[in-house]
Chains A and B, each alone.
Chain A
Amino acid sequence: MPLRRRGRTIVALGATLAILGTIGWFWQESLLPDSYSVTEMGYHDYGGGPHHAGTSLDVSVDALAPPADAEAEVEVTLTAEQKTFELASGRSVDGYTLNGSSPGPMIRAEQGQLVEVRLVNASVRDRVTLHWHGVDVPGGMDGVAGVTQDAVAVGEEFVYRFYAHQTGTFWYHSHQVSHVQVAGGLFGALVISPAVEPRPVEVDETALVHLYEGQRSVNGHDGDLTVDAAPGDRVRARVVNTDAGPISVWVDGAPFRLTAIDAVDVNEPEEVEDLAVTVTAGGRADLEFTVPTDGAAVRVELSGSLALVFGDAPSEPRRQPTEELDPLHYGAPAALEFDPDAADREFEFNIGRRLGFLDGRPGRWWTVNGGLFPDVPMFMVAMGDVVVMRLTNDSGEVHPMHLHGHHAVVLSRDDVAATGSPWWIDSLDVGVGEVYEIAFLANNPGIWMDHCHNLPHADEGLNAHVMYEGVTTPFRVGGPPTNDPE
């Protein structure tokens, strides 16, 4: 029956074509152009607000900077290198340094000072930038390759200038191929102190927690780091999580207060004991306590693998407390500078995950509001708007969500309203199935990344932007400067 045979073959070919054609179409659709502007990516989401709020802003993002003639009060040059280097512990690591070391130098400033950092790329082949994590810098100083500047090539430099308006614990890191460069050590700490310290301490220590080649370290030390502290000393430990997942931090040997989260002071933090503090990826926590007068050391446990030890008495690690400090109900309430109930725009930021192609690569990729990158929202705001954002996570993994250029206040989690101190964040741990409602005031014009600070996730498409009406960018992702912010 040749006819029947031929018919069967045609049906088989048709079915094959239908399957392969569908896959091919999805593959083709996912391919990104060689270069693109993030402002043309995806779709605009106005959050129920006007498409044209009529603000008078009309500015290119690179013009958003302090006046050029203002004199810097803190001047630092950071030279980036790509090389094999030794950590403080002597371990050899293949990665990146700033001024010859990783972590890079600690930058200190006093509130109100103009900080000027000259970034020189000595040998980072994939180019480099610096982002000031948690500092609400002017739009042009945000250090995001392809959005606020071109990545700095070998032999070139870029000057960052910003006023240190805020106080607290910050860090800086590369935002060019960041999922590789940050993991490889291209980061450092920035601490901004108030002119008059409201709670003076005798010991002020910053702990940059980082996994170099999979092994945890604090300030480049592989084991416990002992810090000089005498009995009775007041201590502030500033913990910075530079990794891609949350860590748990707890204090052994003294009651403590969580005095700041993401560089914003907690209002009236009460003394607590036997509670673990979760520090999300990119997030910071300031812990304050007094070294006991009986001479025992205090251990600030960093995820149980190592500790900052205050005092030289011998000490033993203790297991992680079973209970966690919940910032939603910690400290005392205080008035906000804006009214979240009178929001001008309300955005939905749902994180999901599904099978598909990302720039031609098949896989199970993150989605934002159901769409795979670049089919993601551009959250459009206007200067002065009060913005409410609902973050939901149906993706099966935790995501440390980081909004550039702003601090947002947590209004509720899983519809339970915040009752403690205003909980301000720039990096928020959004757990599986959790619903967070946050609010911020759009008071810093620019084009701001709003992404997952598990940096490989950002590279896998979990990033969107908040864009101000009237702000444009001349920079493009990709292209000759090979801008690759994630």
Chain B
Amino acid sequence: MPMTWEDETVRVAYRVLAYIIAIEVAIQAAVMVFAIAGLGIWVQEGGVFDKAVMESEEPPFPEVVGFMIHGINGMMIIPAIALLLLIASFFAKVRRGIVFALVIAALVVIQIYLGLFGHEAAVFGMLHGINALALFTVALWAGLRAKKPAGEPAVREHAPA
């Protein structure tokens, strides 16, 4: 069965969404370190960081935007993309595409909870860092392996008896 242009579009969408998740994970790492570096510089310059400052709506140093991006990205945007990827996987003719999309969704959920638990015990923060690499790898892999259409078995079915 040949791939129609619709099939092709969904497959490309699947690939792009998977790559975006990988890029998003990289952004998450980048903005976090950006914010922590900014905090360090601010403290060096005499700033005092406490819970009241942390809860202040006004940022005491500009790099604090990194924490905000990390939160919005991690809690909203990445889960939304993972969900879109899952939906795309239902339509895309990518072999084991649904399995990969499910694994990515699961890693995203785990990542959220590890991030949350990190507020209670720092060791979860460590696992959050490791899980980020797992999510990055699986998302990248899912994108790469969806390069070719999963058409091979269909061709065999069409072969004359």
Residue numbers of A with Cβ under 8 A of B are 1, 5, 9, 11-13, 15-16, 19-20, 179, 183, 209, 211, 213-216, 241, 243-248, 281, 303-305, 353, 355, 362-364, 396-398, 432-433, 454, 456
Q: Which of B53, B76, B90 contacts A211 (CB 8 A)?
A: B53
* B116 and A364 contact, CB distance less than 8 A: yes
* A214 and B60 contact, CB distance less than 8 A: yes
* A396 and B56 contact, CB distance less than 8 A: no
The prevalent SS among residues of B at the interface is: helix
> Does any Cβ of A come within 8 Å of B57's Cβ?
yes
* B53 and A245 contact, CB distance less than 8 A: yes
Q: Which residues of the partner chain B approach A9 to less than 8 Å between Cβ atoms?
A: 91
* B75 and A281 contact, CB distance less than 8 A: no
* Complex: chain A residue closest to B47, CB-CB: A305
Q: Which residues of the partner chain A approach B112 to less than 8 Å between Cβ atoms?
A: 355, 364
* Complex: chain B residue closest to A179, CB-CB: B57
* Complex: chain B residue closest to A394, CB-CB: B120
* A214 and B50 contact, CB distance less than 8 A: no
* Complex: chain B residue closest to A364, CB-CB: B75
- Report B35-88 residues with CB < 8 Å from chain A CB: 47-48, 50-60, 75-76, 83, 86-87
* A211 and B116 contact, CB distance less than 8 A: no
Q: How far is the CA of A281 from the CA of B117 in the complex (A)?
A: 24
Q: Which residues of the partner chain B approach A432 to less than 8 Å between Cβ atoms?
A: 119-120
Number of interface residues of B (CB under 8 A): 27
User: Would A247 and B57 be within 8 Å (CB), given that A12-B91, A364-B116 are in contact?
Assistant: no
Q: Which of A16, A303, A396, A454 contacts B50 (CB 8 A)?
A: A303
> Does any Cβ of A come within 8 Å of B1's Cβ?
yes
Distance in Å: Cβ of B124 to nearest Cβ of chain A:
10
Distance in Å: Cβ of B128 to nearest Cβ of chain A:
13
User: Would A243 and B52 be within 8 Å (CB), given that A1-B1, A16-B87 are in contact?
Assistant: yes
Q: Which of A211, A248, A398, A433 contacts B56 (CB 8 A)?
A: A211
Distance in Å: Cβ of A446 to nearest Cβ of chain B:
28
Distance in Å: Cβ of B149 to nearest Cβ of chain A:
14
User: Would A305 and B48 be within 8 Å (CB), given that A1-B1, A396-B120, A432-B120 are in contact?
Assistant: yes
- Report B137-161 residues with CB < 8 Å from chain A CB: 157
